[in-house]
Amino acid sequence: MSKTRSTTFEQPDLEALAQKAKAVTESAKGSISTQRDAAKKHLADGVTHLEATQKHVAESLKSSGQSFQTSVQKALAEARASAQKISEAVAAKRSAASK
């Protein structure tokens, strides 16, 4: 018998995700002006993905059923992409600082 993994998202979880995405977006926007070019690009890309995350979370909170799950999946994908871009920005900054 195979097991399938199912994840249930509750409205408070999505609201918390939206708040965290907004806070990180604002923080990253504030950092962009002080970073070197490579880090700026990664941070800007991360902000773009975070803004998309916020949009998808807002859509998720308005929907239900399959539409809800699709919106949540999009929000999570954007959140992962933004985390990757911000990690790249941090790595670029550290690399520049060590030179």
Query: pLDDT tens digit string along 6-60?
Result: 456 677 777 887 788 888 777 777 766 665 677 777 778 888 888 887 887 787 7
| Average pLDDT for 77-98 | 78
What Cα–Cα distance (Å) separates residue 51 from each residue in 4, 8, 25, 54? 31, 23, 7, 5
CB 60 within 8 A of CB 68: yes
Tokens of 74: 């999009």
Top pLDDT among 94 and 32 is at 94
User: Residue written as tokens 């929000």?
Assistant: 75
Radius of gyration of the chain (CA): 16
Q: Give the whole-angstrom CA distance, residue 50 versus residue 24.
A: 8
Q: Give the whole-angstrom CA distance, residue 25 versus residue 28.
A: 5
| Average pLDDT for 82-90 | 80
Look at residue 13 in the predicted model and tell me its pLDDT.
78
Top pLDDT among 99 and 51 is at 51
